[in-house]
Amino acid sequence: MSFGIEFVPMELFWKTTYYSIQAEKLGYDSVWITDHFNNRNVYVSLSFIANYTDSIRMGPGVTNPYLVHPVMTAQAVASLNEVAPGRVLCGIGAGDRTSLDIVGAEMSNPVRTVRETVEIIRRQLAREKEGYEGSVYRIKPGAKFNFKVENHVPIYVGAQGPRMLQLAGGIGDGALINASHPDDIERAVAQIRKGAEDAGRRLDDIDVAAYTCFSVAETEKKAKKAVVPVVAYIVAGSPSSVLETFGISVDASEGIRRNLAERRWDEAFGAVNMDMIDAFSVCGSPEQCVDKIDTILKKGVSHFVTGSPLGPDKKNAINLFGKEVLPLFKEQT
């Protein structure tokens, strides 16, 4: 069982690195840095973290092929491997449609694109001389690194929909399930298993990670307050099929979306109710988080990632999780 932490590099590099060192000290296994054009660069963040840590594994969580060509992602993770040998992970996904729209990048054929991206990253890391002929990408023979990559870099496919989850099961070293509710995660694991079996693999061959919206604090009230803004964005961005699963009305979602778009934060966040928080986050006191994580792990997950916002106070949340939650699960394994 592994435990990871996600950071959105909105803060200065040294602060994200400080928290990553803290996570390493407390026994977290992985640190994931998000990749959005409007935040600090993911690989500069990771390089900084690599320089000040010794054992924690790290990677983009996730980058996407629409803004960064797969050969450049391969180059970045291969280079990072020189700074943190054997500790690099690579999370790849289709990206966030809203962010892509802003910069005019079209999310076309996402499953095919991510599949080819994984194949290209692997061939680049292996320094294959042969060309690559895909339906999305074409790489001429001889397009290879002029340096050697000594370590295996596991590739994790970030996924939410059934086809992408199956792809993760079919070709990923790992899967990053973008969900927080045990029922959602159970459905996702079933899809990953199907993808794996269709490809002649077993679920055990894949590191299945629940990549959750997470918040922990001394009290449930504080933890929930911190998670509300993130849940508001999740509700606003969720398709009606997902909302209906949790009994959340499309009207409520549209109302939140409209208020967020018009920057009416009080109205948007005020419309987030307990059902939404329960559906789209893991949050509460340390004891409550232990119970929720325990339920999630029983759904076939081998890696639990605490994603944004982590809690009302980042340093305190990392300490609470590292001291009061994580050890209980590490003892079991």
Which residues make up the interface to another protein (CB under 8 A)?
A: 12-15, 17-18, 21-22, 25, 52-53, 314-315
The structure tokens listed for 89 are 């992970």
- C-beta of 55 vs 98, nearer to another protein: 55
Find the shortest distance in angstroms from Cβ 52 to another protein. 5
Find the shortest distance in angstroms from Cβ 24 to another protein. 9
Find the shortest distance in angstroms from Cβ 49 to another protein. 10
- C-beta of 20 vs 113, nearer to another protein: 20
Find the shortest distance in angstroms from Cβ 15 to another protein. 6
Find the shortest distance in angstroms from Cβ 55 to another protein. 11
142 sits in the region (left: phi over 0; alpha: psi -120 to 50; else beta) called: left
Alpha helices in the chain (DSSP H): 13-26, 42-51, 70-83, 97-102, 110-125, 162-171, 182-198, 220-237, 240-245, 250-261, 265-270, 274-280, 286-297, 314-320, 326-332
- C-beta of 295 vs 316, nearer to another protein: 316
Which residues have a Cβ under 8 Å from the Cβ of 161 and sit 6 or more positions away? none
Nearest Cα residue to 175 out of 152, 196, 206: 206
- C-beta of 48 vs 233, nearer to another protein: 48
CA distances to 12, 47, 305 from 41, rounded to whole Å, are 11, 10, 21
Find the shortest distance in angstroms from Cβ 270 to another protein. 26
Rg (CA), the chain: 19
> Is 113 in contact with 65 (CB distance < 8 Å)?
yes
Find the shortest distance in angstroms from Cβ 43 to another protein. 18
- C-beta of 54 vs 266, nearer to another protein: 54
**How many Cα neighbours within 13 Å face the side chain of 50?**
22
> Could you identify the residue written with the tokens 């986050």?
281
Find the shortest distance in angstroms from Cβ 246 to another protein. 35
- C-beta of 15 vs 257, nearer to another protein: 15
- C-beta of 55 vs 219, nearer to another protein: 55
Find the shortest distance in angstroms from Cβ 68 to another protein. 25
SS3 309: strand
- C-beta of 10 vs 250, nearer to another protein: 10
What CA–CA distance (Å, rounded) separates 333 from 327?
A: 10
- C-beta of 298 vs 315, nearer to another protein: 315
The structure tokens listed for 142 are 């001889």
The structure tokens listed for 145 are 């690194």
228 sits in the region (left: phi over 0; alpha: psi -120 to 50; else beta) called: alpha
Cβ count near 134 (within 10 Å): 15
> Is 46 in contact with 60 (CB distance < 8 Å)?
yes
